[in-house]
């Protein structure tokens, strides 16, 4: 992904400083630190600003902690706290063993941290079932259609292993649903679109929780596992054949049927909204 072009440079304010990297940093005013905004939050805001304006991007190095403290007019503890938070968010690389002599580097591929953060927020947000179903339909139908066009052989092999794992009758429903969720996330990864993969990874816990929440009749479970497994197998076959329309159709039916059977709710309205949208995005 390329960096956004830098905004027109209006030049430094009278108080701002230009580092060796040509970046502008402004000392934090007393007013900005006295209205409940803590010093480390202002440090983060300044670094964010440099990223949003395209002055800083993946792989770039920040000034050292000492330089940042001087440039921003804050104590070293505030800078350290800001960097720790940015490290947790996956924006800057690990500080461990780095010492204080070199600045932190902005990470090049922040996807795992994005996913971790999104997963946590998704788990906390308690979305409506309809909203989750609708989002899954659009995301997964797009993912499987793209996977049919460009899945790598190793992605297809991993999916085949998951399909095989789901055929083991010894699995409990919980174990089956864990494989099932992995299969759906795997399809998103196989799409080759990293954003779809990250978004699907982000909702995986919510999806799995939703599946586990479905009332299970243990007597009829082997039959349920049987048809779910057969549908996964058909979706994978269509994906392997490169038949993106059929793979998308099978996937939409599969998700719809699961909700239909498990929750006795007809998702027909959502399925038809997917069909209408599908015609415009193809
Ligand atoms: Zn499934």
SS3 for 19-68 is CCCCCEECCCCHHHHHCCCCHHHHHHHHHHHHHHCCCCCCCCECCCHHHH
Q: How far is the CA of 34 from the centre of ligand 1 (A)?
A: 52
Name the β-bridge partners of 92.
Answer: 106
Residues of the chain with pLDDT under 50: 1-14, 20, 31, 274, 276-282
Distance 235 CA to ligand 1 centre (A): 9
Continuous segment of H or E residues that includes residue 89: none
- For 117, what's the count of Cα atoms within 13 Å in the CB-facing half-sphere? 12
What pLDDT score does 6 carry?
A: 46
- Which helix (H) or strand (E) segment holds residue 110: the answer is none
Express the helix, strand and coil content of the chain in percent, nearest 5 each: 65, 5, 30
Q: Ion ligand 1 — residues with CB under 5 Å?
A: 180
Domain extents in the chain: 17-108, 112-281
Dihedral of CA atoms 142, 143, 149, 151 in degrees, nearest 10, equals 180
CATH class of the domain at 112-281: mainly alpha
Ligand 1 centroid to Cα of residue 192, in Å, is 20
Domain 17-108 is in which class? mainly alpha
Using a pLDDT cut of 70, give the percent of the chain over it. 79
Distance from Cα 228 to the centre of ligand 1, integer Å: 6
Q: How far is the CA of 233 from the centre of ligand 1 (A)?
A: 10
Give pLDDT, residue 130.
80
Give the pLDDT of residue 235. Answer: 98
How many angstroms separate the alpha carbon of residue 214 from the centre of ligand 1? 13
The Cα-based distances of 25 to 14, 22, 55, 83, 246 in angstroms read 11, 10, 11, 16, 54
Q: How far is the CA of 114 from the centre of ligand 1 (A)?
A: 25
CA distance 251 to 133: 12
Residue 183 Cα to ligand 1 middle (Å): 7
Q: Is the pTM of this model over 0.75?
A: no
Give the pLDDT of residue 100.
54
For residue 113, how far is its CA from the centre of ligand 1 (angstroms)?
26
Contact 243, 213 (CB under 8 A): no
> What would the two tokens of residue 19 be?
């580092």
Mean per-residue pLDDT over the chain, rounded: 81
Cα 77 to chain centroid distance, Å, stands at 31
Give the SS3 label for residue 17: strand
92 three-state secondary structure? strand
d(Cα 30, Cα 255) in Å, to the nearest integer? 55
CA 200/CA 190 separation, integer angstroms: 11
Q: How far is the CA of 212 from the centre of ligand 1 (A)?
A: 12
Q: How far is the CA of 230 from the centre of ligand 1 (A)?
A: 10
Q: Separation of 232 CA from ligand 1 center, angstroms?
A: 6
């Amino acid at each position: 992904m390329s960096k956004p072009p830098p905004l027109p440079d209006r030049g430094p304010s009278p108080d701002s400083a230009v580092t060796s990297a040509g970046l502008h940093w402004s000392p934090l005013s007393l007013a900005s630190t006295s209205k409940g905004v803590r010093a480390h939050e202002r440090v983060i805001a300044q670094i964010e600003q440099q990223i949003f304006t395209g002055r800083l991007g993946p792989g770039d190095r920040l000034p050292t902690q000492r330089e940042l403290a001087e440039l921003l007019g804050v104590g070293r503890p505030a800078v350290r706290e800001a960097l720790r938070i940015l490290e947790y968010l996956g924006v800057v690389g690990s500080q461990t063993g780095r010492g204080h002599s070199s600045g932190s580097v902005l990470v090049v591929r922040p996807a795992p941290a994005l996913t971790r953060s999104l997963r946590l927020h998704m788990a906390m947000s308690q979305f409506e079932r309809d909203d989750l179903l609708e989002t899954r339909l659009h995301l997964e139908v797009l993912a499987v259609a793209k996977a049919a066009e460009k899945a790598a052989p190793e992605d297809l092999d991993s999916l085949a292993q998951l399909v095989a794992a789901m055929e083991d009758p010894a699995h409990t429903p919980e174990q089956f649903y864990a494989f099932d969720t992995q299969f759906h996330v795997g399809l998103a990864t196989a799409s080759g679109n990293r954003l779809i993969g990250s978004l699907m990874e982000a909702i995986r816990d919510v999806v799995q929780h939703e599946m586990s929440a479905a009332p299970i009749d243990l007597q009829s479970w082997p039959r349920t596992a049987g048809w779910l497994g057969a549908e996964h197998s058909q979706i994978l076959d269509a994906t392997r054949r490169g038949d993106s329309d059929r793979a998308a159709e099978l996937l939409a039916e599969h998700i719809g049927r699961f909700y239909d059977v498990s929750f006795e709710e007809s998702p027909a309205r959502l399925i038809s909204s997917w069909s209408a949208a599908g015609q415009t995005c193809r």
